[in-house]
Amino acid sequence: MAYLVLHFCITITLCLTVGGSLLRPKNSTGIVKESVLPPPGWVRSRDAPLDHILELRIGLPQLNFHILEQHLYEISDPEHERYGMHLSKEEVEELVAPSEESINVVDKWLASHGLTQHDVSRSPAKDWVIVKVPVGVAGEMLGTSFGLWTHKASGQTAVRTLKYSLPVDVHGHVELVQPTTMFSRTTGQKTTFRWSNQQAHEDVDTESSQITLPNGIMVDASCNQTVTINCLKQLYNAVGFAPKSKQNKIGITGYLGQFANIADLQLFYADQRPDALNSSFQFISVNGGQNSQNISQAGGEANLDTQFAFGLTFPTPATFYSTAGMPPFTPDIGTTTDSNEPYTTWLDFILSHPNPPQTISTSYADDEQTVPETFARRACSGFAQLGARGVSLMFSSGDGGVGDGDPDPATQQCFSNDGRNATRFIPGFPASCPFVTAVGGTIFIPERAVSFSGGGFSNFFARPQYQDQAVQTFLRSLPKGTYAGLFNPSAFPDVSALADNFKIFFRGRSGLIGGTSAASPAFAGFVSLLNDARLSRGLPPLGFLNPFLYSRGLTGLTDITVGSNPGCGTPGFNATKGWDPVTGLGTPNFGKLKELVLL
């Protein structure tokens, strides 16, 4: 990039020079592209340093995404003649590529601000343009000024603005530019780690040696206090199944400096999966992500995800992705880049990969309302692209019930951030995206909804057709007026699994951990085993799961009808017969699902 030098003009105004030529504001006739109200909990302390580097991601319109979506639903519908006929990487990229006109218009706009092709990087489909520029240049490009904002509760800082504009001729060729108005704080789910067993519920059987369920499945009664791999295999009817396919792979994503410790993994294997001892996973760094093996830096979330997902599926090849993003930074240091939340960084990487794992689980989330809707939709479209290529994506549904992610109902902030400060249930993203499978949580045997299981209704996404019957049935069962105005009718989670009392090894010691961050990798483990069964028979992987789950797969799920997910000062929703916004369609019966996926 041409070297930018700040200097004062003769008129005593602050200007920019590029290679010696004077630049004046080029956005004075711009149209506002996006604006937000001051986000709750964030405070603007001062102007951002003009030399602080922003990594701007410019989203160009995906003109044929509607065609990709049609393909996705056809190849994911078990009753459609195209079921399982996933698209190639190249076919997907062709469908989401922007027009040449949009590419040219945006390139011309960037060039007017001194940026050459050497300064620009692009996504494989060219639908994202990424440039790194100083705050001063970004402000000029977008007709705005950036401030340094601090989140009062966490102390996290970000360089952001409340609105930005684009030139008239550029406006229609750009869908969004971020990070600008994004005040989301990607966090791991609220896993709770403890060194002693949780007190069992008073009506839970801990005296018998085994529990016989109504479907005839027998489970060790000890699983009511400590959940192991064997507990999950017993409960979900997978005892005796051994993976065989050499093509099958499973992946776990890690963010925010969560490191998966291999020494802890070996302790876990020795305790629960001795045949896996001395095996490990492939580590892949995304955008400089690390996986320190210093035992003091082991992450509870990363250990939980890798130990159970990889323990359930051994010897299936396993990958742990560590993605850097949103680190703490001192904005006065110009060499530190302020970037987006890390989902899109990981999406850029995985979409460029020709052979991603067929099953991937993620246990991180944002409050949906803190993510600009344009950004949420673009990230969601990236998940759809992976589904079209045959990848099954699981996301934990959240650990705040119907609240904002805070597991303590007393401290939940359940207010809209649209200026009205109205009481509102707070859905989580990406669980609310209709192109992923959101996994809620249960507890104990027989299973009941765990109280923190995130679930509810999206404010961004329309209800997908595959959900219509199930969700409408639930809504008709609600007493008239229940929670009127607190939610919209696009729903999650889709399924659920046990989510508490998981025994893991963390920094050399064993203990129990819980959260829907346990349910997601557990459910993903059984999906990977289903993919193994299909691949071993010469069938394609399952890919996007939801159309199957809401139709043919329904008989392979165990309905959960007890429990609720309180939050926002309410009892939340109840688990009930059929789908509900606490446990979704229910928990997996692997034996039945295996028969169904092999039909």
Q: Is 578 annotated as a binding residue?
A: yes
Q: Using an 8 Å Cβ cutoff, are 383 and 432 in contact?
A: no
Once rounded to an integer, what is the mean pLDDT over residues 77-82?
A: 98
Residues in the chain: 599
Which tens digits make up the pLDDT trace of 39-52?
A: 888 899 999 999 99
Q: Using an 8 Å Cβ cutoff, are 385 and 415 in contact?
A: no
Picking from 253, 256, 259, the residue whose alpha carbon sits closest to that of residue 292 is 259
Q: Is the pLDDT of residue 508 over 70?
A: yes
Residue 366 is predicted with a pLDDT of 84
Once rounded to an integer, what is the mean pLDDT over residues 351-364?
A: 96
Q: Helices marked H in 501-563 — which ranges?
A: 516-536, 546-549
Give the active site residue among 361, 432, 490, 517: 517
Q: Is 559 annotated as a binding residue?
A: yes
Question: Which tokens hold the place of 57?
Answer: 């991601």
Residue 418 is predicted with a pLDDT of 74
- Structure letter (DSSP) for residue 60: P
Q: Is 580 annotated as a binding residue?
A: yes
Residue 148 is predicted with a pLDDT of 93
Once rounded to an integer, what is the mean pLDDT over residues 484-496?
A: 87
Once rounded to an integer, what is the mean pLDDT over residues 102-109?
A: 98
Which tens digits make up the pLDDT trace of 212-243?
A: 999 999 999 999 999 999 999 999 999 999 99
Residues in Cβ contact with 514 at an 8 Å cutoff, skipping those fewer than 6 apart: 191, 192, 198, 450, 499, 500, 501, 502
389 CB neighbour count, 10 Å cutoff: 25
Q: Is the pLDDT of residue 54 over 50?
A: yes
Q: Using an 8 Å Cβ cutoff, are 403 and 409 in contact?
A: yes
Q: What proportion of the chain, given as a percentage, has pLDDT over 70?
A: 87
Q: Backbone dihedral region of 183: left (phi > 0), alpha (psi from -120 to 50 degrees) or beta?
A: alpha
Residue 195 is predicted with a pLDDT of 56
Q: Is the pLDDT of residue 579 over 90?
A: yes
Give the active site residue among 77, 93, 127, 301: 301
Q: Is the pLDDT of residue 328 over 60?
A: no
Minimum mean pLDDT among 144-148, 374-378, 405-409: which range? 405-409
Minimum mean pLDDT among 187-196, 325-334, 356-365: which range? 325-334
Residues in Cβ contact with 58 at an 8 Å cutoff, skipping those fewer than 6 apart: 106, 128, 129, 130, 131, 174, 176, 177
Q: Is the pLDDT of residue 351 over 90?
A: yes
pLDDT category, 480, cuts 50, 70, 90?
confident
Residue 408 is predicted with a pLDDT of 58
Q: Using an 8 Å Cβ cutoff, are 44 and 147 in contact?
A: yes
Q: Is 301 in the active site?
A: yes
Once rounded to an integer, what is the mean pLDDT over residues 122-146?
A: 96
Q: Is 305 in the active site?
A: yes
Q: Is the pLDDT of residue 23 over 90?
A: no
Once rounded to an integer, what is the mean pLDDT over residues 396-419?
A: 76
Question: Which tokens hold the place of 303?
Answer: 């250990």
Residues in Cβ contact with 503 at an 8 Å cutoff, skipping those fewer than 6 apart: 226, 227, 228, 271, 272, 510, 511, 512
Q: What proportion of the chain, given as a percentage, has pLDDT over 90?
A: 74
Minimum mean pLDDT among 8-17, 340-349, 436-445: which range? 8-17
Q: Is 175 in the active site?
A: no
Residue 326 is predicted with a pLDDT of 55
Q: How far apart are CA 201 and CA 185, in angstroms?
A: 34
Angle, vertex CA 523, rays to CA 520 and CA 524, nearest 5? 80
Picking from 239, 245, 323, 339, the residue whose alpha carbon sits closest to that of residue 289 is 323
Question: Which tokens hold the place of 266?
Answer: 């070996």
Which tens digits make up the pLDDT trace of 580-599?
A: 999 999 999 999 999 999 99
Q: Is the pLDDT of residue 8 over 70?
A: no
**Chain mean pLDDT for the chain:** 88
pLDDT category, 204, cuts 50, 70, 90?
low
Q: Is the pLDDT of residue 364 over 50?
A: yes
Residue 300 is predicted with a pLDDT of 93
Residue 38 is predicted with a pLDDT of 86
Question: What fold, for 188-331+342-569+576-597?
Answer: Rossmann fold (3.40.50)
Which tens digits make up the pLDDT trace of 236-284?
A: 999 999 999 999 999 999 988 899 999 999 999 999 999 999 999 999 9
Once rounded to an integer, what is the mean pLDDT over residues 118-144?
A: 95
The radius of gyration computed from the CA coordinates of the chain, to the nearest angstrom, equals: 24
Residue 329 is predicted with a pLDDT of 45
Residue 342 is predicted with a pLDDT of 66
Give the active site residue among 34, 127, 305, 368: 305
Q: In whole angstroms, how far apart are CA 450 and each of 418, 493, 498, 560, 575?
A: 31, 13, 8, 11, 10
Q: Is the pLDDT of residue 347 over 90?
A: yes
Q: Is the pLDDT of residue 187 over 50?
A: yes
pLDDT category, 379, cuts 50, 70, 90?
very high
Q: How far apart are CA 343 and CA 366, in angstroms?
A: 11
Residue with tokens 């955008």: 287
Delimit the domains of the chain by residue range: 4-62+97-183, 188-331+342-569+576-597
